[in-house]
């Protein structure tokens, strides 16, 4: 954010929440954060880049296999703040 933006009171736009590839709803942000990262209540596939909410794919019960591409590369969904 530049000096003019601060002087004119313009605010930095927040990044939109990730959207679930299965149901199309935004994935909720978790109340926890890790350093400069925002944690979300979902999983992200490192292979195809698709995000899933915990209602569509629960990592704990369904394992790390991505429903989209079939690779075993699912991990926690995090993004830079």
Residue 7 resides in a domain: no
Mean pLDDT estimate for the chain = 85
Q: How confident is the model at residue 13 (pLDDT cuts 50, 70, 90)?
A: low
Beta strands per DSSP E along 1-81: 29-34, 37-45, 51-53, 74-80
How many residues in total does the chain contain?
A: 81
Residue 9 resides in a domain: no
Say which CATH number the domain at 72 has. Answer: 3.30.40
pTM of the model: 0.75
Share of the chain above pLDDT 90, in %: 43
Residue 23 resides in a domain: yes
Asked if pLDDT for residue 69 goes beyond 60, the answer is: yes
Give the domain extent around 26.
14-80
Residue located via tokens 């990262």: 37
List pLDDT tens digits, range 40-66. Answer: 999 999 999 999 999 998 877 888 899
Residue 62 resides in a domain: yes
Q: What pLDDT does 12 receive?
A: 61
Element (H, E) at 8: helix 3-8
Residue 6 resides in a domain: no
Asked if pLDDT for residue 25 goes beyond 90, the answer is: yes
The domain total for the chain is 1
């Amino acid at each position: 954010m530049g000096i003019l933006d601060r002087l004119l009171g313009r605010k930095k736009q927040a990044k939109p929440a990730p959207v679930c590839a299965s149901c199309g709803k935004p994935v909720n942000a978790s109340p926890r954060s890790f350093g400069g990262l925002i944690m979300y209540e979902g999983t992200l596939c490192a292979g195809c880049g698709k995000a899933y909410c915990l209602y569509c794919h629960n990592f704990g019960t369904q394992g790390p296999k991505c429903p989209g591409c079939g690779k075993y590369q699912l991990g926690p969904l995090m993004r830079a703040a």
